[in-house]
Amino acid sequence: MMTIREKEQKIEELNLKISELKLIEENEGIDFQEQIEELNDKIKEIEDLIVKEMTPWDRVLTSREKKRPTALEYIQEIFEDFVELHGDRYFGDDKAIVGGIARIDDFKVTVIGEQKGMNTKDNIYRNFGMPAPEGYRKALRLMKQAEKFNRPIITFIDTPGAFCGVSAEERGQGEAIARNLMEMAGLKVPVISFIIGEGGSGGALAVAVSDKIYMLENSIYGVLSPEGFASILWKDGSRAQEAADVMKITAEDLADLKIIDGIIKEPVGGAHKDFKKVSTSVKEIILSELESLTKLNKSELVNKRYERFRAFGEFKIVE
């Protein structure tokens, strides 16, 4: 059996063959229509196989793929007039969270994103998308500002988790996340979130107490990374693949559990294979959700959000 990577390579080969044939067709005037159709069928077959055989672990790997589009790329593709705003006004400007104001069609919005690097150097600059307390405080400042000016909020989630380190403890990582959870619950403007890569635990939730939450097909969202889960419960971080199977971290699982509102399809291989298409889907969802959420009055909006999170939990009462 071919691995996903091998299948993807095979598809690339077949695509190359098709373009060669097309080139010959053009130059020599020979008709390869039949052969090209055959190759296309073959590609479709392999693609279907990839989708069918994709395991939760494959999705974990895809969610972390180096070429996966990051928050800023979505922001630049989807919005106009983006003005980035920096700093938490207390300590500093965290590079792992970006935010600002922008326009999408006729709506003026506040946009916030957890930002991974686009290459190795950038990743160090962005602390691999692991926000510090001042990042969450920046996000909260911008969300409160959005509320003041009655702007809806769009957040993009993509983090392995909140940064764990001495500085983060000193500056109250726990308090920063807790404060965001509490304050987001009361925001009087619509909040729409997209999990575009990794949704790592409290570090993701801290910008996702939202009215609507969508996930890209190959993104993940969980209480911890599969590696962390395996090392805590089984004392063996190398069993991450197994952990991914039991954790229910895929978009499909989370839609079943009603944690999220919808799944955005990705091209075979991941969002980076056809970013235009994926970002167009994201844009369409933003617009249609803004259309309906902005019709709710403020107390309806806040009550609905409360009910959403109030309902989470599974338990029973025994005698």
Partner 1 sequence: MPIGELFRKNYKYIELTKKNEAGKLEGEEKAVPSIPDDLLIKCPSCSEKLYKEALAENMYCCTACGHHFRINARERLQEIADEGSFEEIDRTMVSVNTLDYPEYEKKIASYQEKSGNYDGVVTGTCSIEGHKVVIGVMDSTFMMGSMGSVVGEKITRAIEMADAEKLPLVIFTASGGARMQEGIMSLMQMAKTSSALKRFSDNGGLYITVITDPTTGGVTASFAMLGDIIIGEKGALIGFAGKRVIEQTIKQKLPDEFQTVEFLLEHGFIDAIAPREELKELLARILSLHQEVQ
Q: Which residues bind partner 1 (CB under 8 A)?
A: 162, 164-166, 168-175, 177-179, 181-183, 185-186, 201-202, 205-206, 209, 221-224, 228-229, 232-233, 246-249, 254, 257, 259, 305-306, 309-310, 312-319
Tokens of 13: 């080969």
CA atoms within 13 A on the CB side of 84: 13
Q: Report whether 177 contacts 162 (CB < 8 A).
A: yes
Q: 108-143 burial, b if ≥16 CB within 10 A, otherwise e?
A: ebbbbbbbbbbeeeebeebbbbbbbbbbbbbbbbbb
By the 10 Å C-beta count (0-12 exposed, 13-18 middle, 19+ buried), 10 is classed as: middle
State which residue, 149 or 309, has the beta carbon closest to partner 1.
309
DSSP secondary structure string for all residues of 276-311? HHHHHHHHHHHHHHHHHHTTS-HHHHHHHHHHHHHT
Q: Provide, rounded to whole angstroms, the least separation between the CB of residue 25 and partner 1.
A: 52
Q: Provide, rounded to whole angstroms, the least separation between the CB of residue 184 and partner 1.
A: 8
State which residue, 1 or 318, has the beta carbon closest to partner 1.
318
Instruction: Classify the C-alpha dihedral 273-276-277-281 as positive or negative.
Output: positive
Q: Provide, rounded to whole angstroms, the least separation between the CB of residue 294 and partner 1.
A: 22
Neighbours of 273 (CB within 10 A): 15
State which residue, 277 or 304, has the beta carbon closest to partner 1.
304
DSSP H/E element including 73: helix 71-78
State which residue, 42 or 239, has the beta carbon closest to partner 1.
239
Q: Provide, rounded to whole angstroms, the least separation between the CB of residue 317 and partner 1.
A: 6
State which residue, 11 or 204, has the beta carbon closest to partner 1.
204
State which residue, 178 or 287, has the beta carbon closest to partner 1.
178
- List, in sequence order, every residue forming a beta bridge with 216; answer none if it has no partner: 264
State which residue, 35 or 234, has the beta carbon closest to partner 1.
234
Q: Provide, rounded to whole angstroms, the least separation between the CB of residue 306 and partner 1.
A: 6
Q: Provide, rounded to whole angstroms, the least separation between the CB of residue 177 and partner 1.
A: 4
State which residue, 196 or 249, has the beta carbon closest to partner 1.
249
Maximum Cα–Cα distance across the chain: 83
State which residue, 102 or 243, has the beta carbon closest to partner 1.
243
State the SS3 of 212-227. EEEEECCCEEECCCHH
Q: Provide, rounded to whole angstroms, the least separation between the CB of residue 314 and partner 1.
A: 4
Q: Report whether 193 contacts 155 (CB < 8 A).
A: yes
Q: Provide, rounded to whole angstroms, the least separation between the CB of residue 2 and partner 1.
A: 31
Torsion of CA 236, 242, 244, 246, to 10 degrees: -110
Q: Report whether 159 contacts 68 (CB < 8 A).
A: no
Q: Provide, rounded to whole angstroms, the least separation between the CB of residue 4 and partner 1.
A: 25
